Structures are given as C-alpha cells and as structure tokens.
C-alpha cells in the first residue's frame, strides 16, 4: 500500500499546475513524437541536413575549408543506470511478474552495458562511419579544394573518441585522395581552444529556478511504466527504491541505443510527457550555459581562442599557405560556444529562456558529429568570400549583411569578430 501511495502522490504532485498540453510547445512535441530517440538530445546520432548549395557569385571558386566537428556517436559514463534496470528486471522475472516487453528491455539493457564495456565515452563504430561519410561528402561537394596532393592539417582533442573520429574522417579522405599529405597533432596545448569553454562560469541561479518551476510544474505519471512492463505494478514497485530514479535509468538506457545500433524497446513504454520534460530540461540548461542566452556571456567569451585560431589559419591560407583545409575534432559544448560567438543561424541564434523549446533542439542542433564548416572562395582579383555550413547546411550569420545569399565578405566577418571582442 505504501508503494501505491508513493506512486499516487507523484501522479498528483502537479495538481493545480499546468497540464502537459498547456506546457508543451507544439513544434517540439511534433519533433519528439516523430522519433522518440530524439528525446535523448545530444545523444542523437548524426544525420546530415539539406546539402543544397547556392551558386557562388560569378568568378568565385572554393580554395580552402576551415572545420570543427564534435566526435561521432559514443557511449555514456558509468553503468549504474543499466545495472539498475537489469537488477530490477532480473528480480521481477524471478517473481514471475516481468512481461514480454520487460524481457526485451532487460535484454536491451544487457546489450547496452556490454557495448559500454567499462569504457566511458567509448566511440561507437557508427561514430567512425559518421565522420567517414562526412569526409566523402566534403570531397564530392568541394573537389576543387582537394585537387592534386593537398596538404591538410588535422588537430584533435586529446580524448580518444575525438582522436578516433579524426582517424575515421581522414582515413576515408585518404582512400579517395591517396596523394593527400597529412599533418596530424594533438596535445594539451591544443585543448586550450579545441576542448575548453573557459574558467568563468555564468550565474545559473535564475535559470535553475526557471527550469524547476517551468519544466516540472505539471502532472507526470511516473508509475506509468510499471504497468507497461510488469504484470503486477504493486509487486514491481516493491522492488524499486525510487520510481523517479528507475525512470531516469530507463531513459538513460534507451536513449543511447541508436548510437550502438541496438533496438530500443524502452522509450515507447515511457510516458511521453516525461520524455518531453527530460529533453526540455537538458535543452534549457545547455542553452543557458553555452548558447546565445541572457546568462552565457562569460562562456561565449571563451570562444575567442578557437576563433583566433580559425582566423589566423584562414589568413595563412589566403596569403598562399600550403594547407587546403584545417580540420579540428573536439566536443559539443566548445562547438556550441563557437557558433554562439559567431552568431551562426540556428544553434547560434539569440533566444530567451521561454523560446528555447521552440528554437533550440539538441537532437538537431548539437547531436553526435555536429559540425561547422567554413568554405572560403576567391576570385581572380584575390577577393575572398566565406560561406558557413552547420550540419552541412548553408547558414546565415545573425545580424551581418552578406554579399550574396550565404556568401560573406571575409574582411567584414573578421571586423565583426573583432567588434565582438570589445
């Protein structure tokens, strides 16, 4: 009876609060219902966007690419969440109260833990292939940049998942361009701009208050899942010390499966309102800390290091340097800070706290393998334009006038960057 009352109290916690439908943003609701795996936010594997190319102004040809990419699909940290699901399912099965759906979930958790294998953040084979495919598309899309035997500089974070992502990308490119001359590096010095978001942290007290009172101020039946995977909900509740934690274990297990090409049976059995809340919660925190929000000024300022590296190497190439491309392989939050600093349309756009659910979706904007590509064009007079691609899609820069379509004058972009440093 005590377990029943606990479940009932959780169900009624939001009495007098918003209903789920009042709380949900229709655009985000449709996005998540279209594929429940998107509820995992930045655990979503990479899918390239529309790769339409607006014709460059007459006489301009691509000659150099500057790139930053998050590593590919990976695993999570620790196995307590998977172990928790496995333990509950095993005990329930011994009591004869685990149904067929529950057995599939048990097997799923076993496979997820096996893929983890004691290696936190382990890169998945899918993650390698995401970068290999990205390299092939880059070659096909901008062949003029890679003619002959190009020199390419590739620098990675010191973290293994980024190093292996770089390996996947560059190996695929070498297979298509065997004459490519590679210049690889990694080390702590590079981490100052590839893997860092600064030491000054934004004040998150107001954002945390808003998340707590907005994202959880409605009714969620956290005991819903018990009736979906067990034949006796009350007996199952007796096996679970904390129903809310059990839901989070299930969420953490289900949302990592696609990275490892494991079939998921968990997310369809969870209340959609809870999946929405998890997604919204993490999205608000990420955008408040690293996005173009009212709280993130100190974080965004840390991007000056990576921006300075981009500018210096681009100017080196423009002046006749040997490198046809500069490739950087890092992590999600430094990338988010970078696009926020530059004002890249979409993930780098300005948004208030209340607008985040409508405009910023980590499953789309900060998924595994997320990437920024800057494609440089030059005419016979030496004038340079640059086009920005995010997730391989053409993007505008917020508040900056272009020369034509998505093509920006490089000197104007640099002047805007210098202005942002003030």
Secondary structure (DSSP) of 115-175: HHTT-TTPBPHHHHHHHHHHHHHHHHH-GGGG-SS-EEEEEE-SSHHHHHHHHHHHHHHHH
Mean of pLDDT values over 350-367 = 96
Looking at the chain, the whole-number percentage of residues with pLDDT higher than 70 is: 93
| Whether residues 139 and 267 fall in one domain | no
- Say if 36 falls within a structural domain: no
What pairing do the DSSP bridges indicate for beta strands 151-156 and 61-70? unpaired
Give φ, ψ of 88 to 5 degrees.
Answer: -65, -45
**Is 173 part of a structural domain of the chain?**
yes
How far apart CA 121 and CA 74 sit, in angstroms, is 6
CA neighbor of 416 nearest in space, from 307, 294, 306, 300:
307
Give the integer Cα–Cα distance in Å for 402 and 385.
Answer: 9
Quote the domain boundaries for residue 415: 43-74+123-202+292-420
Residues 49 and 136 in one domain: yes
Residue 152: the pLDDT is: 99
Quick check: is 211 in a domain? no
Pair of tokens at residue 42: 């930045």
For 219-244, letters b (16+ CB in 10 Å) and e give bbbbbbbbebbbebbeebbebbeebe
Same domain for 330 and 241, yes or no, is no
- Whether residue 17 is predicted with pLDDT greater than 60 in this model: the reply is no
Helices 410-420 and 304-318: angle between axes, nearest 10 degrees: 160
In a domain, 38, yes or no: no
Domain boundary among 263, 290, 317: 290
Strand, coil or helix: 6 = helix
Same domain, residue pair 83 and 49: no
Q: Give the residue, 74 or 11, on which the prediction is more confident.
A: 74
- Give the closest residue to 303 by CA, choosing from 198, 378, 379, 422: 198
Looking at the chain, the whole-number percentage of residues with pLDDT higher than 90 is 83
Q: Are 237 and 171 in the same domain?
A: no
Query: Do residues 266 and 283 both lie within one domain?
Result: yes
State whether 66 and 181 are in the same domain.
yes
pLDDT reported for residue 1: 40
Residue 90 neighbours by CB under 8 Å, 6+ apart: 106
pLDDT value for 2 = 40
Structural domains of the chain, count: 2
Does 81 fall in a domain? Answer: yes
- Among 233, 270, 273, smallest CA distance to 251 is for 270
Residue 393 shares a structural domain with residue 352: yes
186: domain CATH number?
3.40.50.1240
Within-domain flag for 12 = yes
Instruction: Pick the last residue of a domain from 290, 317, 339.
Output: 290
With respect to residue 37, please indicate whether it lies within any of the assigned structural domains: no
- Contact 330/36 with Cβ under 8 angstroms? no
Q: Is the pLDDT of residue 5 over 50?
A: no
Q: Are residues 296 and 380 in the same domain?
A: yes
58 and 94 fall within a common domain: no
pLDDT of residue 295: 86
Q: Which of 13-22, 52-61, 250-259 has the lowest mean pLDDT?
A: 13-22
Provide the pLDDT for residue 16: 46
151: in domain: yes
The pLDDT, as a whole number, for residue 117 is: 97
Closest CA to 214 of 289, 280, 279: 280
Which tens digit of pLDDT belongs to each residue from 199-250?
777 777 777 777 776 666 667 888 999 999 999 999 999 999 899 999 999 9
* Terminal-to-terminal C-alpha distance of the chain: 63
User: Please, is 187 exposed, middle or buried when counting C-beta atoms within 10 Å of its C-beta (0-12, 13-18, 19+)?
Assistant: exposed
Span 157-172, pLDDT tens digits: 999 999 999 999 999 9
The answer on 192 and 237 residing in a single domain is: no
Report the SS3 class of residue 9: helix
Same domain for 149 and 95? Answer: no
Rounded to whole angstroms, how far apart are CA atoms 306 and 194? 7
Single out the residue in 268, 290, 312 at which a domain terminates.
290
Which pLDDT band, with edges at 50, 70 and 90, does 7 fall under?
low
Report the pLDDT averaged over residues 383-398: 98
Overall average pLDDT of the 142-148 stretch: 97
Helices 272-290 and 243-254: crossing angle, nearest 10°?
Answer: 70
């Amino acid at each position: 009876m005590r377990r029943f009352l606990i479940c009932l109290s959780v169900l009624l916690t939001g009495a007098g609060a918003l209903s789920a439908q009042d709380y949900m943003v229709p655009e985000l609701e449709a996005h998540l219902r279209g594929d429940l795996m998107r509820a995992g936010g930045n655990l979503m594997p990479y899918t390239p966007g529309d790769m339409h190319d607006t014709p460059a102004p007459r006489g301009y040809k691509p000659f150099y690419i500057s790139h930053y990419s998050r590593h590919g699909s990976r695993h999570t940290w620790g196995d307590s969440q998977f172990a928790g699901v496995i333990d509950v399912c095993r005990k329930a099965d011994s009591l004869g109260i685990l149904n067929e759906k529950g057995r599939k979930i048990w097997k799923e958790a076993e496979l997820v833990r096996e893929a983890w294998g004691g290696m936190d953040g382990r890169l998945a084979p899918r993650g390698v292939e995401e970068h290999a495919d990205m390299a092939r598309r880059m070659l096909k899309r901008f062949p003029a940049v890679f003619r002959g035997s190009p020199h390419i500089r590739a620098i990675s974070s010191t973290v293994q998942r980024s190093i292996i992502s770089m390996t996947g990308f560059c190996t695929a490119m070498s297979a298509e361009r065997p004459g490519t001359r590679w210049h690889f590096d990694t080390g702590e010095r590079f981490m100052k701009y590839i893997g860092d978001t600064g030491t000054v942290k934004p004040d998150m007290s107001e954002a945390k208050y808003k998340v707590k009172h907005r994202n959880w101020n409605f009714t969620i039946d956290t005991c819903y899942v018990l009736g979906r995977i067990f034949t006796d909900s009350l007996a199952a509740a007796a096996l679970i010390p904390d129903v809310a934690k059990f839901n989070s274990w299930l969420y953490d297990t289900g949302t990592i499966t696609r990275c490892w090409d494991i079939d998921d049976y968990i997310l369809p059995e969870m209340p959609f309102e809870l999946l929405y809340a998890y997604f919204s919660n993490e999205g608000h925190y990420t955008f408040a800390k690293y996005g173009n929000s009212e709280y993130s000024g100190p974080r965004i300022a840390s991007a000056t290091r990576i921006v300075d590296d981009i500018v210096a190497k681009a100017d080196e190439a423009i002046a006749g340097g040997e490198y046809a491309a500069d490739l950087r392989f890092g992590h999600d939050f430094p990338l988010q800070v970078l696009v926020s600093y530059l004002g890249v349309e979409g993930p780098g756009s300005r948004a208030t706290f209340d607008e985040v659910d409508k405009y910023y979706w980590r499953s789309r904007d900060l998924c595994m393998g997320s990437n920024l590509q800057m494609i440089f064009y030059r005419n016979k007079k030496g004038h340079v334009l640059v086009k920005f691609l995010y997730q391989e899609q053409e993007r505008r820069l917020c508040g900056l006038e272009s020369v034509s379509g998505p093509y920006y004058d490089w000197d104007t972009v640099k002047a805007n960057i210098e202005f942002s440093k003030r």
